[in-house]
Structure 1
Amino acid sequence: MANGSRQAAWEFFGAELKRRREDAGFTQVELGVRVFVSGGYVGQFEQAIRKPQLDVAQRIDEVLQTDGFFERTWRKLIDDKRYADYFAAVVELERTATRICEFAPTLVPGVLQTGGYARAVTLANNPFATDEYVEETVTARLERSRILADATRPEYWVVLHENVLRIPVGRPEAMAMQLEHVAEAGRQRKVLVQVLAYRQGAHTAMSGMLQLMDFEDAPPTAYTETSFSGTLVDDPAVVKRAQRAYDLLRAVALSPEASLALIDSAAEDFRRCASTT
């Protein structure tokens, strides 16, 4: 679904929510209390500024007695079987974010992955996958990178743990190409890259991947992920704590210039390794 038609569909979702809420005699605040969000959030859903999470859509159906209409519509609009269920909503939000800040403890973030690297990650996680599944997954990963090619691309900040530079993913040549791709994105000022070097030791925010997203007309969100699940959070207090943790990471990470030099050095090491195999 193209971005324009997707937005139009969300506007329909919001218009239906407003109509059915008013038919049921609820104000935005009253409905918000019943589905555990603020009245302001309900207003943003109705204006298609913010997309509800699945559990909120399900509670709206329960309160308004709409026989699963909003859950079915949500699934049609936001579910993409190329992504894990817990991640589909994040992909949707990336398209409208004005700023994305990410911490990657072990792998290059999906938005910055090359085809060769994405293919190696997919096969490592799914050694018995069909070729069709692998290609669909890689294509979906590369589509996410388009947000950095748009004229209205978000500010994209990323802190990579040095693990990301050192742990081989795929063949050495693919790893070298991936690191060179990250460095080039930094030099083209599409992304601001910092590396959390080994010498900085342990850090309180290193327990897992963290992504923060800001929006023009909606509150910020935080997304965290472990090996088999992910959590999208928009509770202001939790998001504020996540933002503070990310600020601490940036404070101890290498400067952008030193980070690019370290990435270049790691890429060169993999190039040398590729030439001897």
Structure 2
Amino acid sequence: MARRKDIDGSMSVPTFYGKELRWKREAAGLSLEGLLQGSFYGKTYLSDIERGERRMPLDLARHVDRALGTDGFFERHCEDVRRARRGPHAAYFEKVLEAEKHAESIEEWCPIAFPGLLQTASYARTLVRAAHPAAADEWVEEKVAARLACARLFEDDHSTPEYWVILHESLLTEPILSPLEMAEQLDRIMVLAEQRRIVPQIVPRTCGAYPLMAASTKVMTFPDAPPLIYIEASYSGDTIDDPALVKQYRKAYDRLRAVALSPETSLTIVKAAAGDYRNGSRPDRLE
């Protein structure tokens, strides 16, 4: 049986939780694989939790409690870990923020705003200020900085997920920024696409009815966990892991991808729109 190590109570909640999990697992004589037997998660996922680098999903916490006979300890305290990891982001986005860092692929559909992972500071600031017009400047800048920090996902060659984004044409032709700021926003998409970090597609406004018209959608897959869907509205968001619903959303995303213009054509359109804004003109709508 493993000898228990003293846990430093001054350490962060996720680290404390992870060390307690590791001690209980080793005390039970179980390997990472042994503890996960009968679950849908991989050993890397559990190892990250033990190091305090990843949250414990509720279904996995219940599985661990059953396997270790810990009388609901890990289920009761996984919410404490979630709150401790929140940071400046909205509570409903916390699970997604962590999931993005570990995703193998991310596929987004954005009908009304450029996605957070692709936003420039000017674009992010405009959205935050529009949603919270009475907020203090310091609070707004904290939110902007947090959003830009997420975009560093594309700076590390070793951890960048495969990223596919489908944008509605109106994002290019109905600006919410000055012409030069819009050019900067489109340049960011163009540069990431040319660096083969992202694959953009455009849905023309003339295509008629299409799947997923109601809300923005993010589909994430992982090498060591089940896929996850995230849908978002103005002041709320929801993560979906029910297998039947996940399957339905993924099929809808594939149908939407078939409706959109090809990546090559879409990138050409983004480049042209950026050039128009730099020249002080507004891009023409697609016919």
> Does TM-score exceed 0.5, indicating one fold?
yes
Does residue 64 of structure 1 match 2:72? Answer: yes
Does residue 238 of structure 1 match 2:245? Answer: yes
Q: TM-score, normalised by structure 1?
A: 0.79
* Paired residues of 1:58 and 1:68 also in contact (CA < 8 A): no
* Paired residues of 2:13 and 2:80 also in contact (CA < 8 A): no
Q: Secondary structure at the residue paired with 2:206? A: helix
CA-to-aligned-CA distance 1:239-275 (integer Å, 9 cap, x gap): 1111111101111110111101111222233223379
- Equivalences for 1:227-266 in 2 at 5 Å? 227-266=234-273
Counterpart-to-counterpart distance in 1, 2:185 and 2:165: 15
Corresponding residue for residue 13 of structure 1: 17
Q: Which residue identity lines up with residue 219 of structure 2 in the other structure?
A: L
Corresponding residue for residue 114 of structure 1: 120
Q: Secondary structure at the residue paired with 1:169? A: coil
Counterpart-to-counterpart distance in 2, 1:121 and 1:274: 23
| Pair 60,70 (structure 1): closer, same or farther in 2 beyond 3 Å | farther
* Paired residues of 1:13 and 1:46 also in contact (CA < 8 A): no
* Paired residues of 1:57 and 1:74 also in contact (CA < 8 A): no
* Paired residues of 1:173 and 1:274 also in contact (CA < 8 A): no
Paired residue for 1:215, among 210, 218, 222? Answer: 222
Give the structure with the larger helix fraction.
Answer: 1
CA-to-aligned-CA distance 1:79-100 (integer Å, 9 cap, x gap): 12x2111001101110111111
Moved more, 13-22 or 158-167: 13-22
Corresponding residue for residue 96 of structure 2: 90
* Superposition deviation, residue 192 in structure 1: 0.5
* Superposition deviation, residue 211 in structure 1: 0.5
Counterpart-to-counterpart distance in 2, 1:135 and 1:170: 17
Unaligned ranges ≥5, structure 2: 1-11, 29-35, 283-287
Counterpart-to-counterpart distance in 1, 2:195 and 2:166: 17
Corresponding residue for residue 28 of structure 1: none
Counterpart-to-counterpart distance in 2, 1:217 and 1:68: 24
Corresponding residue for residue 86 of structure 2: 79
Counterpart-to-counterpart distance in 2, 1:66 and 1:241: 31
- If you compute each CA radius of gyration, which structure gives the higher value, 1 or 2? 2
Please, what is the CA RMSD of the aligned residues?
A: 3.3
CA-to-aligned-CA distance 1:93-134 (integer Å, 9 cap, x gap): 101111111111111111111111111111111222212112
Q: Percent identity?
A: 41
Q: TM-score, normalised by structure 2?
A: 0.77
Corresponding residue for residue 210 of structure 2: 203
Q: Secondary structure at the residue paired with 2:122? A: helix
Q: Secondary structure at the residue paired with 1:203? A: coil
Corresponding residue for residue 179 of structure 1: 186
Paired residue for 2:155, among 145, 149, 156? Answer: 149
Unaligned ranges ≥5, structure 1: 1-7, 25-31, 33-37
Q: Which residue identity lines up with residue 79 of structure 2 in the other structure?
A: E
Q: Which residue identity lines up with residue 268 of structure 1 in the other structure?
A: G
* Superposition deviation, residue 63 in structure 1: 5.6
